[in-house]
A and B are shown apart, each in its own frame.
Chain A
Amino acid sequence: MTDLTKMTLAGALDGMAKGEFSSVDLTEAHITACEAATGLNAFITPTFDLARAQAAASDMRRKSGDVGRLEGAPLGMKDLFCTEGVKTTAASKILGDFTPPYESTVSANMKADGMVMLGKLNLDQFAMGSANETSCFGPVINPWRNGEDLVPGGSSGGSASAVAADLCLGATATDTGGSIRQPASFTGTVGIKPTYGRCSRYGIVAFASSLDQAGPIAKTVEDAAILLQSMAGYDAKDSTSLNETVPDWRAACGQSVKGLRVGVPKEYTIDGMPKEIEDLWAEGIEWMRDAGAEIVDVSLPHTKYALPVYYVVAPAEASSNLARYDGMRYGLRVDGENLADTYERTRTEGFGDEVRRRIMIGTYVLSAGYYDAYYLRAQKVRTKIADDFRNAWETCDVLLTPTAPSAAFAVGRKINDPVQMYLNDVFTVTANLAGLPGISVPAALDGSGLPLGLQIIGKALDESTVFTAAGALEKAAGFTAKPSKWWS
């Protein structure tokens, strides 16, 4: 039998449909791969026994003709999605022992579609980070190497690393400022953040509610479409869920881009960006032109303010969202001399440095006397950023940009300089602020053999066109490189 872990999700679903192998076969192959890859530290909580049981049950269902969209596919779950009866930590000490008695809507949708869950994937603590170095379970290592250990990007570093290393056929992820797309770019995988409101946030540990959005990390654009199709959908339990039907995104992947107007925003050229990335962007533009798209120059004048806006809005929301972790009803409690002391000890020991830093910033920008200057102003600039996109859509259908300003970097390199770390999200964060869908597609390897991605941003609810453009980009790039399997 061929190495089942090398398959795409689409290929594996097809193989099972044809009876070439069972879910049990597929799942065992992936469990073996996972067991050999502990050095990547991609999983916080493996659930192999559960996966085996789910695979066996899936094979039974298939026999009875009951075949879901993800039937029998072994997948990974970012450990930010609450999973009933399975520990959900958000990579934090404060939730280190938390087992939710409920299931997130996204994971429930996937379960209902026949998913096999291999385990809970590592991430930056509470999804705060761009390198997956803030996890209290240790950093995730990128399967791509450059002589030294590299970060996989963050916060969905475990998801990206696991998919890139063929530990699972695909994984869930979440994206608040670029946490799906940047790690996808760093690991040669495809990651899409859909329109805000497409995927229910119910049961996802919240970071910044107005920005958080779930999406998949996958091996191909088509796989991403299959996964997102399962994850997405209206949910009455989330007030910000969009009551819109989910189109057939898989069908959109192979469509022609002839006549598609692809915008190129001039503000996405930034100082200090490696020439290789600029060149790749130019190449991407050519690929799209060659495929029949019309290239349009557009301007998004407030782009440079997106990150500062983000670093006001996200910490502000986070400081409030994380107030519930107080050691009273669940999670870590560190007993102190009195109530006030217990609160402080619990939260100081339970949260890592970056989380505490963001809580401090968020608390400050919301506090009396600073609200108007920081929070309110940031929300107004956010309006202008969203307006920039509305203006751009007058002349184009999608935007093409680099995904990240660099390739993967060495573990520990940027951890001590928050602003440098934050700059990782410079091209991705605008889509979160405006609530738009964005996808990263692997496009090339840089000079040192590390993958680089290009990003397509689309109109709200227009994931179909995003998938179409991404499919064209994927086809033109012909990216087939895989990291050498040094970890096993």
Chain B
Amino acid sequence: MAEPQHGVSSTDVKKIARLARLHVEDSQCGAIAADLNGILAWIEQLAEVDVEGVEPMTSAVAMKAPMRADVVTTGGIRDLILANAPKSDDGFFVVPRSVE
């Protein structure tokens, strides 16, 4: 299989993991990079296809968005909304502090 045009480096792995909020140990980066490169190398064959002037297909249904009327149909279900919360208090979700 051909070498990928854009090989993923260990630094890239760190960056991707950071974007995806996944933790990777420094020691794993090489292996993960190799794993991703294996898959990306296989995906690279898409470069063979002539896509000049071809519209991207973003949905399997060729229709326009259906629209709903501006009517209040739900609400007042706080207990259901919070039912699975790891932590809640006084009607709020409680999460780790998001500002210093």
Residues of B within 8 A of A (CB): 5-6, 8, 12-13, 16-17, 19-23, 32, 35-36, 38-40, 42-49, 51, 54-61, 63, 65-66, 68, 77, 80, 83-87, 93, 95-98
Contacts and interface: CB of A to CB of B under 8 A. Distances in A.
Contacts of A197: 60-61
Contacts of A336: 96
Given A335-B96, A339-B95, A363-B20, A380 B55 contact: yes
A47 interface: no
A329 B35 contact: no
Given A311-B39, A363-B19, A386-B57, 6 more contacts: A242-B61, A328-B93, A329-B85, A338-B97, A348-B23, A374-B43
Nearest to A212: B60
Chain A, interface size category, equals 35 or more
Nearest to B49: A381
A282 interface: no
Q: Is the interface of A mostly helix, strand, loop or mixed?
A: helix
Contacts of A370: 6
Given A236-B66, A383-B55, A347 B22 contact: yes
Given A99-B83, A367-B19, A419 B58 contact: no
Nearest to B100: A338
B95 to A, nearest CB: 5
* Interchain residue pairs A-B with the least CB separation, the first 6: A435-B60, A379-B56, A330-B84, A196-B60, A380-B51, A333-B86
A414 interface: no
Contact of B16 (A210, A309, A338, A367): A367
26 contacts: A99-B84, A102-B80, A239-B65, A240-B61, A242-B61, A326-B21, A328-B95, A331-B86, A338-B97, A339-B95, A339-B98, A344-B21, A348-B23, A359-B20, A360-B16, A360-B20, A373-B6, A373-B47, A377-B51, A380-B51, A381-B46, A383-B54, A384-B51, A384-B54, A418-B39, A432-B60
A239 B80 CA distance: 24
Given A329-B93, A380-B54, A240 B49 contact: no
A356 interface: yes
Given A364-B36, A370-B6, A435-B61, A312 B46 contact: yes
Nearest to A333: B86
A211 B57 CA distance: 12
Interface in A367-426: 367, 370, 373-374, 376-384, 386, 418-419
Contacts, number: 158
A211 B58 CA distance: 10
A211 B59 CA distance: 8
B35 A364 contact: no
A114 B39 CA distance: 45
B60 A378 contact: no
Which of B32, B80, B84 lies at the interface centre, i.e. has the most chain A CB atoms within 10 A of its CB?
B84
Given A240-B61, A327-B86, A360 B23 contact: no
Given A319-B20, A348-B22, A360-B32, A101 B80 contact: yes
A361 interface: yes
A340 B83 CA distance: 24
B56 A382 contact: yes
Nearest to A307: B42
Nearest to B96: A339
Contacts of B23: 344-345, 347-348
A367 B6 CA distance: 13
A242 B51 CA distance: 29
Nearest to B15: A367
Nearest to B60: A435
A347 B21 contact: yes
Contact of B84 (A331, A360, A363): A331
Contacts of B16: 360, 363-364, 367
Given A359-B22, A364-B12, A210 B84 contact: no
B100 to A, nearest CB: 9
Contact of B20 (A239, A331, A347, A379): A347
Interface string A343-367: 1110110010000110111011001
A342 B97 CA distance: 10
A92 to B, nearest CB: 14
Interface in A76-111: 97-99, 101-102
A344 B59 CA distance: 31
A302 interface: yes
A293 to B, nearest CB: 27
Most chain B C-beta atoms within 10 Å of own C-beta, residue among A98, A99, A373:
A373
